[in-house]
Amino acid sequence: MSRKLSFFVVCIGLCLLPAWGLAEPLGKLTLKDGSEIYVEILEMTDGFIKVNTLFHEGDPIKIKWSEVVGMTSEDQVTVVLNSGTIIQGRPTMLGPGTLGVRTDMLVEPIPVSVESVMAVNPPMKKSVVYKGNLNFGVAVSKGNTEIETYNFLGELIARSDRLRLSILGRYFYGEADGQLDARNAFGTIKLDFFITERFYAYTGALVEQDTFQDLNLRTSIFAGPGYQFIDEGDFSSPYFTKMELSAEVGLGFFNEDFKREEDRNNVTGRWAITFNWPVHPVLTVFHQHQGFPSVESRSDYYITSQQGLRWTMLENFISTLQYNWRYDNTPSSGNKKSDKQFLLTLGYSFDA
């Protein structure tokens, strides 16, 4: 009796073995040419659907979504339409080019056009994305010439769907033969609120000090509208996909506290341009500048900018070749209007 039972169990196992082997794919794709592929549906983004199949080992394969006319799955999937509607359910094929998404709340499936599907099981998007960099440069000469120079630069950008916080700072210090010959600091902070996908309102502040410009403290508080002309993902080319370009205008209050001369304060206009172009994963071109023209006097204006190249050396370690330019058309007596800084620094970038 036990032999018969064992034989029966073995037969049942052999019969179920093919089914077990086919158990992994829980769905089916129907293509325009009429072919059907039994798959495990993973996700669809950027016009390609990723699936696992029985006949392929290794990484998931990608199929153009434009070639798909039907999709069936025993598991629930998340379907995102180009209208922004999100539907969760088990998809089935109602007809070529039309899906029916079955939900637990409705008896009849919800008809959905395949062409209107923008994503399937899209990856979770972080509520806040951070990116930035920290850079440090030093030059020391000992002997007949005693020179020490140090500089520190940092940048942080935090972005959510509606808000963007930008912080920029730099500090320079130098001595020659034991005498101080350079000391200045610069920082800005700005908060953008996106009213639409591109148009935003901003407010921010600038703080600056320079010992050799007779400047105890320069401050400005400003606000106005801005527009994101180019944002990440606007272009499909890998050379342009992460390019960013924004421009701003506005008004502000400008105050300059001098050591010797009389302090100044006035209402100013403001313009700004920010351009960031990661040409390649290891090379980035950047430019940032802002100008503050006085509302009270045409001849009184101040411009500050930084631009350069940043390249990745190893992992997140970077090197930056940077040129900073500051121009004050009405400087303190005895000071030049223009200040230039050429920098080569080492640093660390982060993206989370």
Q: Is the pLDDT of residue 285 over 90?
A: yes
Select the more confidently predicted residue: 182 or 221: 221
Structure tokens at 158: 């935090």
CA angle at 320 for the pair 317 and 324, rounded to the nearest 5°: 150
Class at the top of the CATH hierarchy for domain 129-351 = mainly beta
Give the pLDDT of residue 46: 82
Q: What residue spans define the domains of the chain?
A: 25-120, 129-351
Indicate whether 20 pLDDT > 80: no
CB 31 within 8 A of CB 49: no
Q: Which residue has the higher pLDDT, 19 or 293?
A: 293
* pLDDT higher than 70, residue 329: yes
pLDDT above 90: residue 192: yes
Q: Cα separation of 175 and 11, whole Å?
A: 89
**% of the chain residues with pLDDT over 90:** 66
For the stretch 222-275, pLDDT in tens is 999 999 999 998 887 889 989 999 999 999 999 999 988 889 999 999 999 999
> For residue 153, what pLDDT is reported?
96
* DSSP states of 213-264: GTEEEEEEEEEEEEEEEE-TTS--STTTTT-EEEEEEEEEEEEEEESSSPPE
Residue 18: predicted pLDDT: 43
State in Å, rounded, how far the first CA of the chain is from the last one. 65
Considering only residues 53 and 65, tell me which one the structure prediction assigns the higher pLDDT: 65
